[in-house]
Amino acid sequence: MKNVISLTIFLMVISILYVGLVYGQNGKKVHEAKGELTKPEKMASKLWNKMQTDDYQNTWKMWPGRTAFYKGTPPHGALLTTYLNSKAYNAIEKKEKELPYRSIIIKENYMPDKKLGAITVMKRVKGFNPDAGDWFWVKFAPDGKPMTMEKDGMTMSLAGKVPGCIGCHTASTGGIKYIMTQ
């Protein structure tokens, strides 16, 4: 019971801090008030452009031992295809316990009918978020725009330090820190 209370208090504090960072004193979202993209949105845009320039579907390797459209698990799609840049792939092949900086994992999330629903990406960026392994998270719509979600009457960007991604991946037990796919 004590752990549940501590966890609840911790999550409330994180939520309050998040709201304070996203919304300025005037109650508008910080990036809306300034009329510009937030740092995570800029990072997501650069990452999407890199993915397209690299032509990742044709030049990156798939997760070792996985093929296209393998069975997925929530919160990702019913079917998944996972691509790795060379840094991530080489570390996984060497059975390293932690992926190096600049590792990128792209997970295409498909519906049961094989229609692409979203593309979730993790990139390890030195100094980005030391409390969560320095991983940058983003969930792209198929058109490359970062997705959002509504929570408690607020619109939350699914780019950057995404609480849902961090909460799940922090609990990984598969042998590689912050990585769920095995």
pLDDT tens-digit series, residues 31-77: 444 445 579 999 999 999 999 999 999 999 999 999 999 999 888 89
**Nearest-angstrom CA–CA distance, 2 and 7:** 9
pLDDT tens-digit series, residues 158-181: 999 888 787 778 777 676 766 777
Domain segments of the chain: what residues? 1-30, 37-170
Using DSSP bridges, classify how beta strands 154-157 and 148-151 pair: parallel, antiparallel or unpaired. antiparallel
**Does 27 score more than 50 pLDDT?**
no
pLDDT tens-digit series, residues 102-122: 999 999 999 999 999 999 999
**Nearest-angstrom CA–CA distance, 44 and 122:** 10
Nearest of 110, 107, 59, 65 to residue 85 by alpha carbon: 59
| Least confident window among 9-23, 117-131, 166-180 | 9-23
Burial of residue 152 (CB within 10 Å: 0-12, 13-18, 19+) is exposed
CA distances from 8 to 74, 154, 156 (A): 23, 20, 20
Reported residue count of the chain is: 182
Q: Which residue has the higher pLDDT, 139 or 15?
A: 139
pLDDT for residue 151: 84
